[in-house]
Amino acid sequence: MMTLVQPTVSSLDVQPSHFIAFRPRFFSMPRPNFTAVAEFIFEGFSIFGWQHRLILFVVFLVLYLLTLASNVIILTVIHFNQQLHTPMYFFLSVLSISETCYTVAIIPQMLSSLLSPQQAISIPDCATQLFFYLTFGVNNCFLLTAMGYDRYVAICNPLRYSVIMGKKTCIQLASGSWIIGLSTAIIQVSSVFSLPFCDANIISHFFCDIRPLMKLACADTTIKEFITLLISLGVLVLPMVLIFISYVLIVTTILKIASAEGRKKAFATCASHLTVVVVHYGCTSFIYLKPKSQNSLQDRLISVTYTVITPLLNPVVYSLRNKEVKDALLRALGKKSLS
């Protein structure tokens, strides 16, 4: 009678490591003998010396305080001036609130890390920062789109402006921007922090952002990166296309105006918004729509533009280039309006 011999691991001469080698990457399993990460450390601007970091600290602190003060002034002036209770200034008020929250979510942490490099942040705190950064950042994108639509209606449909841009429409557009921001943040934060993080914990950035975090994951991030790209296209390219269409129609309408003074006045009403749009979308698109970069310091320096400079640019541009706001400010200071 023949005896069946069950093959054993030793008889097949297969080592356990062979099974590990053939394990598919899409299982997203951590490496064996890994050390789970409990906190991250910001690399920030630690590459610079103490004197350079101190200069950056002073510059960023001044810009941050100016941003907060400018937004408070804008909100106060609009609130107490009945002449500014229009759709355009309603959206500007909402944008100022959103920009203030956006900077509060990022800049204090950045200022702290300039004075004390290699600062640690817990995973829950990192997820919270990313959530608020995405919520207010995406909200700003769609608020700028709503403001572009407002300018389109004002110039291309002036007789029906008050009907089309009624209070209900303005609230719906602003609410839609907030909802899109919240939804995007929930999806992205859930996607990023479902990844395992092990061993490496130094974030090559000065705040918790998507790409630097994904670089630390000890799993395949191909699907996550594809999701991020799709969302980036949705929240950056779509608003840019809508704003571009609005301005094509606006320019077409303005060129039909017979009076040179009328054309100049019409262009002036759009100049502030267009300036902010170009800077805002130019910088964010460069970071989130470009291929992977190995130059993390360059990415950090570009990120400074849309996290520190652009939030200040919004209230400054809208106040300095806007006669109505300047008149309201002068009246509030007890001075005569501009002629």
Q: What is the pLDDT of residues 238-261, one digit of tens each?
A: 888 998 899 899 888 888 887 877
For the whole model, what pTM was predicted?
0.81
pLDDT tens figures, 144-168: 999 999 989 988 888 999 999 999 9
Q: Can you tell me the distance from the alpha carbon of 111 to that of 52, in angstroms, rounded to the nearest whole number? A: 13
> What are the backbone dihedrals phi and psi of residue 39, each rounded to the nearest 5 degrees, phi first?
-155, 160
Which of 122, 129, 124 lies closest to 104 in space, CA to CA?
129
Cα→Cα distances 69→19, 23, 73, 119, Å:
61, 56, 6, 28
Question: How confident is residue 129, by pLDDT bands cut at 50, 70 and 90?
Answer: very high
For Cα atoms 147, 235, 176, give the angle at the middle one, nearest 5 degrees. 55
Question: Do 84 and 325 contact (CB within 8 A), yes or no?
Answer: yes
Query: How much is the mean pLDDT over the chain?
Result: 81
Asked if pLDDT for residue 264 goes beyond 90, the answer is no
How many residues belong to the chain?
339
Q: Alpha-carbon distance 244 to 256, whole Å?
A: 19
d(CA 28, CA 258): 64
The answer on pLDDT for 273 being more than 80 is: no
Residue 89: pLDDT above 60?
yes
d(CA 153, CA 245): 12
Helices (H), the chain: 9-12, 16-21, 50-80, 87-115, 123-156, 161-164, 167-192, 210-216, 222-232, 238-255, 260-288, 296-304, 310-320, 323-332
Tokens of 54: 């101190």
Rg over CA atoms, the chain: 26
Q: Which residues pair with 202 in a beta bridge?
A: 41
CA distances from 48 to 53, 304, 305, 316 (A): 6, 15, 18, 30
Taken in order 316, 180, 242, 282, is the CA torsion positive or negative? Answer: positive
